[in-house]
Each structure stands twice: as C-alpha cells, then as structure tokens.
C-alpha cells in the first residue's frame, strides 16, 4: 500500500480511543484549530509511539466501558510519567482518576444532555470558558462518576450531581473532565481544546489545506514514480479530489475510468466529462454500461442483491479496462480517515452489517494493484477544503454525498428504465429548488426517491394512478447519525407542485421525517 504518511516530522496531538461515538469529533476539532491530530485505539497503544517527540499531547476519549472492566481495557500506566500533557474526557477522565489513585463509582443521578457546571478554581485550561458568574453549560453523557480525587489533584469545576466534573494536576499537566468539550452543545468547548493544545501542550499550527496539498503531491510523486495509476472516477467529491490531486502530481500517467451505470443523476455524465476530460484534460475512459446494469438488475427487488450485482459488475468492468492499459501499477481510491479508524470495534463488540457499501475495495487483491489512498488521513470537510485548493469548482466540492449503487437504492423494489427516468427528473427539480432557495449548503444530503406504490389522485377532472415520490433531506456531522431538515410549508408546496406538474408518473409527494437511527439515510 502506498505509504502517504504525511510528514514524519509532523507534530501531533494523539487521541487514544476507548470507543466513544465522539472520538472522531475530537480529532476534527483539533485539526480545525490548525494542529494535526491522529486517533489510535487503546488496544494498539505502544509506549514507543507515545513517547516520540512528535506527540505534543494526549487525549483519552470517552467510551461505553466502565473503568473496572480491566479485561477489556488496555492502559499502560507508564504514559502518565512521560511528561506529556494529558486530557481525559468522560471515560478518559474516569480511567485517569482511577489509575492515579482516585475512585470511580456508579452515579446516584446519571447526567445525560445539558448540565451546568460551576467554577471552583482557576485553571489555564478554562481561560475564557466560564461566564462572568463562573458558570458554563456543558454536555454530559455518563452514569459513573469520579467519587474520590486522585492525589495532588484539585477541582476546577463541579456540577449539581457530580463534585469532580473537572479536575487537574497542574504540576503534571494532567486534566480530566466528565463532560464533552468536543460537542457543539458544550458552550465554549472549543476554548478548552484550544487552551489545552496551545497553552498547555505548546503546539504550533501545522495543519492547513494549502500545506496539505503540496505534501500530498510530493508523496504521490515519490511513491508512484513513472508508473501509471488508474482511478475510478464517479464525479462524487472524494474521487474528484483524488483525480485532480493525481493529475497535478503525475499528469499523463493518470488514467480515470468513469462508468456510466445508468443509475446516475440527471446530467451527471455530461458534467463529469466536461469537467475532467475537457477542462482538466484528464485522460478519461468513458464506459457506457447502462444496458448491462439494467439487464442484470431486471426483476431484482432485494436491496442486498441489488448492491451485490452492482458491485460485481463494476469490478468486472474495471478489471477489463485496467488489463488493457500498460504499466498500470496503482489503483487510486478516495478512502477517508473515518473509513480507516476502527473505532467501532474498540469495545470488542461486533457491529452488525447494515448494508453492503459498494466501492472498489475488492479490486486490489485480484488485480495485484497497489493502492493509492491520498485522502486516507482526512475528514470530509478537509477533503472539501483540499478540493477548493486544487481549484475544483464549488459545485463539485460542496456536492452532497451520492452512494455508489446510485439511484438503484432510491427505487425500492424492481428497477425499470421508466422509473429511473421519472426519478432523475424529480431529483433534479428538488435539488434545483434547494439551490434556488439557498438551502442546498445548509443540508448535509438531500435526494428524491421513487416508492413502489401507486396511489389515486385527481388532476383536472381526471383520475390519476401514479407513483409516490419521497423526498429526504438530512443534517448530519458525518452521516453516522442524522436528523431530518425542517423545511417551511411554502418550500414544500413549491417543490411538490413543481414535481407533480412537470413529471408524468408521480401524483403524490411525501417527506421523510425519520432520523438516523432508527432509519438509515438511504432507503435500501
Ligand atoms: P446510510 O444509508 O447507510 O448512508 O445511512 C450513510 C451515507 O453513506 C452513503 N451510502 C453509500 N456510499 N456506497 C457509497 O459510496 C454505498 O453503497 C452507500 N450506501 C450508502 C449514503 O448516501 C449516506 O451518505
């Protein structure tokens, strides 16, 4: 695998992950402040990695465990004596307290959601954090609490239900807090992280899209040398950024393959060809595979079978074309940092498979191609910034995510050409209206789907019997959890009327108001 290890000399804040759903958020917040951060599972911590002079500070994340489940937790006490500043959050706060001689017990009153904490003592960590009266609203999520302070620790703040909400050993630069400073619900939470990384860890700013661009180009050039790289370009944000980055790094030695599955959005095919082939002069092979995809999907209604058929077909087409090109040694993919982090398995629990996500991940073993994954240390918002730095149009960079299997998973039940056409039109109208009303960029992802149900309607004086169009729009941080977007009535009326008046085949529009969980973002 291509080792784009960024820069070995890059100093960082290392986050030890104990399985919290917010671990990635901690890393993002620190990078937003301009300092590089990495996540490592508590099971993989090695003292030699941590004692490296490049680690400026350690953050111990929250997590679902309790500190007395010692068989499930890896904690090397020696990290406490390295002289590196440490900040423990929630479970991190409890494990630090326990390991340093304090006590943790079940709370009499659990705290979930908003709580108020009150300042007890001054600390560098809380500069500009409390209001004038010494209070701050914070976000808690815990059922255990620190019940006895470790030796040489003082209390910085307390809440109504927990005396030791925030503690410190100022001499050793070790801090603990029961609440989550990384979530936006904690007012001024970012100030705590800023104080920690700059005032306590003495980090210097070393992370920006501009620096990143030249670093990544340098590393790709070094590794790929004169070989050719094939890249599966879908027109989505990640593969577009990878393609443009590689074009800048290796020019003609990049070959992009764009497979038109027939399950793309309206005008997508033209947009990809215009942008990459005509404007950026990228070596682009266009494969029109509409017929074969539709043929293989005929009469298939099971969501998992659809996904498998599409994934396999894609692999076959990719292999066929890759074999035709001489000197291809690498396959470029838009893998992102969240795909890489194993945070879900740190608790040892098996997460059940919800959906077979389709990408080209199955390819390399078979084709003996080495992987180039230049975005594998980046979060989505960083990829977007990098895309702008690479002079990709905002229209591409700020696009909503679009799934690999495309419209196939937005047409529950059997897929036909007619249904695809109807859906492409409805989706186009919906997205255009979102843009017109300046809503597109406020929404994380929006799309139209075509439900396999016909209902009765009346248009003019005639009875209609047509499909239902479902609209979805969600807000989210990373697609793992989501909430529906609250449109006003006028917007919903405008979109509904436009869809029904312009598209034959739809006579009813519904809006999906479920969050994730319990639903998923896509329908299948
Ligand atoms: P779900 O439906 O699982 O989707 O809540 C979460 C995010 O992932 C996208 N998605 C996919 N992306 N291949 C992809 O590249 C897939 O097979 C796939 N399935 C879902 C979805 O659009 C949402 O952004």
Domains plus CATH for the chain?
A: 12-200 (3.40.50.880), 209-397 (3.40.50.620), 410-511 (3.30.300.10)
Tens-place pLDDT, residues 320-346: 998 899 889 999 988 888 777 654 444
User: Confidence band (pLDDT; 50, 70, 90) for 465?
Assistant: very high
Ligand 1, residue 236: give the atom nearest the CA: 15
Average pLDDT over residues 278-299: 97
**155 CA to centre of ligand 1 in angstroms:** 44
- 26 CB-contact burial (10 Å; exposed 0-12 / middle 13-18 / buried 19+): buried
Examine the pLDDT at 158 and tell me if it is beyond 90.
yes
User: Confidence band (pLDDT; 50, 70, 90) for 142?
Assistant: confident
Nearest CA residue ID for atom 9, ligand 1: 403
**389 CA to centre of ligand 1 in angstroms:** 26
**416 CA to centre of ligand 1 in angstroms:** 22
Q: What is the pLDDT of residue 354?
A: 66
**522 CA to centre of ligand 1 in angstroms:** 7
Indicate the average pLDDT of the chain. Answer: 91
Ligand 1, residue 405: give the atom nearest the CA: 17
Nearest CA residue ID for atom 12, ligand 1: 403
User: Confidence band (pLDDT; 50, 70, 90) for 348?
Assistant: very low
Tens-place pLDDT, residues 94-106: 999 999 999 999 8
- Report the C-alpha gap between 137 and 134 in whole angstroms: 11
- Report the C-alpha gap between 60 and 182 in whole angstroms: 12
**492 CA to centre of ligand 1 in angstroms:** 25
Examine the pLDDT at 3 and tell me if it is beyond 60.
no
Q: Which of 472, 481, 522, 523 should be mutated for ligand 1, with most atoms under 8 A from CB?
A: 522
Q: Which of 311, 403, 406 should be mutated for ligand 1, with most atoms under 8 A from CB?
A: 403
Ligand 1, residue 445: give the atom nearest the CA: 24
Q: How far is CA 329 from CA 4, 196, 234, 317, 377, in A?
A: 16, 44, 21, 18, 22
Examine the pLDDT at 495 and tell me if it is beyond 50.
yes
Tens-place pLDDT, residues 232-254: 999 999 999 999 999 999 999 99
Nearest CA residue ID for atom 21, ligand 1: 403
Task: List pocket residues of ligand 1, CB cut-off 6 Å.
Answer: 355, 357-359, 401, 403-405, 445, 479, 516, 520-522
Examine the pLDDT at 47 and tell me if it is beyond 60.
yes
Q: What is the pLDDT of residue 310?
A: 94
**What's phi and psi for 382, nearest 5 deg?**
-70, -35
Whether the CB-CB separation of 278 and 307 falls below 8 Å is answered with no
Ligand 1, residue 520: give the atom nearest the CA: 5
User: Where is pLDDT greater, at 127 or 362?
Assistant: 127
Examine the pLDDT at 347 and tell me if it is beyond 50.
no
User: Confidence band (pLDDT; 50, 70, 90) for 57?
Assistant: very high
Examine the pLDDT at 149 and tell me if it is beyond 60.
yes
Q: Which of 232, 307, 357 should be mutated for ligand 1, with most atoms under 8 A from CB?
A: 357
Q: Which residues are catalytic?
A: 90, 180, 182
User: Confidence band (pLDDT; 50, 70, 90) for 53?
Assistant: confident
Whether the CB-CB separation of 359 and 371 falls below 8 Å is answered with no
User: Confidence band (pLDDT; 50, 70, 90) for 359?
Assistant: low
User: Where is pLDDT greater, at 8 or 186?
Assistant: 186
Examine the pLDDT at 364 and tell me if it is beyond 80.
no
**515 CA to centre of ligand 1 in angstroms:** 15
Give the tokens for residue 206. 């070393």
Tens-place pLDDT, residues 501-514: 999 999 999 999 99
**405 CA to centre of ligand 1 in angstroms:** 9
Percent of the chain topping pLDDT 70: 93
Which of 93, 111, 112, 92 shows the shortest CA–CA distance to 39? 92
User: Confidence band (pLDDT; 50, 70, 90) for 10?
Assistant: confident
Q: Which of 401, 481, 523 should be mutated for ligand 1, with most atoms under 8 A from CB?
A: 401
């Amino acid at each position: 695998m291509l080792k784009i290890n960024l820069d070995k000399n890059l100093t960082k804040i290392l986050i030890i992950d104990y399985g919290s759903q917010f671990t990635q958020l901690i890393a993002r917040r620190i990078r937003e402040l301009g300092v590089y951060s990495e996540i490592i599972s508590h099971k993989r911590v090695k003292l030699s990695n941590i004692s490296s002079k490049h680690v400026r500070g350690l953050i111990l994340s929250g997590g679902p465990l309790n500190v007395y489940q010692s068989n499930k937790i890896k904690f090397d006490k020696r990290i406490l004596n390295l002289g590196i500043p440490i900040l423990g959050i929630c479970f991190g706060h409890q494990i630090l307290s326990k390991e340093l001689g304090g006590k943790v017990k079940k709370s009499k009153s659990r705290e979930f959601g908003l709580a108020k904490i009150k300042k007890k003592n001054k600390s560098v960590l809380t500069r500009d954090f409390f209001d004038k009266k010494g209070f701050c609203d914070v976000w808690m999520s815990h059922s255990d609490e620190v019940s006895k302070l470790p030796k040489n620790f003082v209390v910085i703040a307390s809440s109504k239900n927990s005396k030791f909400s925030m503690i410190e050993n100022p001499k050793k630069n070790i801090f603990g807090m029961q609440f989550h400073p990384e979530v936006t619900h904690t007012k001024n939470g970012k100030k705590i992280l800023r104080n920690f990384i700059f005032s306590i860890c003495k980090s210097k700013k070393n992370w920006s899209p501009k620096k990143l661009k030249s670093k990544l180009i340098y590393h790709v050039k070094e590794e790929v040398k004169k070989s050719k790289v094939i890249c599966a370009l879908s027109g989505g944000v990640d593969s577009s950024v990878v393609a443009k980055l590689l074009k800048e790094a290796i020019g003609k030695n990049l070959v992009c393959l764009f497979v038109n599955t027939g399950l793309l959005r309206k005008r997508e095919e033209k947009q990809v060809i215009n942008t990459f082939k005509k404007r950026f002069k990228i070596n682009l092979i266009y494969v029109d595979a509409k017929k074969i995809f539709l043929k293989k999907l005929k009469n298939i209604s099971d969501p998992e079978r659809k996904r498998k058929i599409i994934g396999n077909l894609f692999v076959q087409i990719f292999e066929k074309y890759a074999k035709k090109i001489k000197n291809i040694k690498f396959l470029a993919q838009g893998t992102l940092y969240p795909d890489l982090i194993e945070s879900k398995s740190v608790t040892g629990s098996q997460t059940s498979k919800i959906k077979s996500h389709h990408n080209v991940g199955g390819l390399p073993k078979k084709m003996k191609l080495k992987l180039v994954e230049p975005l594998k240390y980046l979060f989505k918002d960083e990829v977007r910034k990098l895309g702008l730095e690479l002079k990709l149009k905002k229209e591409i960079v700020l696009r909503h995510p679009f799934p690999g299997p495309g419209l196939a998973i937005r047409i529950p039940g059997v897929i036909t050409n007619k249904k695809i056409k109807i859906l492409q039109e409805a989706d186009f109208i919906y997205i255009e209206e979102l843009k017109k009303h300046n809503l597109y960029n406020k929404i994380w992802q929006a799309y139209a789907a075509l439900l396999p149900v016909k209902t009765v309607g009346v248009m003019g004086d005639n009875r209609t019997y047509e499909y239902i169009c479902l609209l979805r729009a969600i807000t989210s941080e990373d697609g793992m959890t989501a909430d529906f977007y609250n449109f006003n009535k006028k917007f919903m009326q405008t979109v509904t009327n436009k869809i029904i008046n312009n598209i034959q085949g739809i006579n009813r529009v519904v809006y999906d108001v479920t969050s994730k969980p319990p639903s998923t973002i896509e329908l299948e």
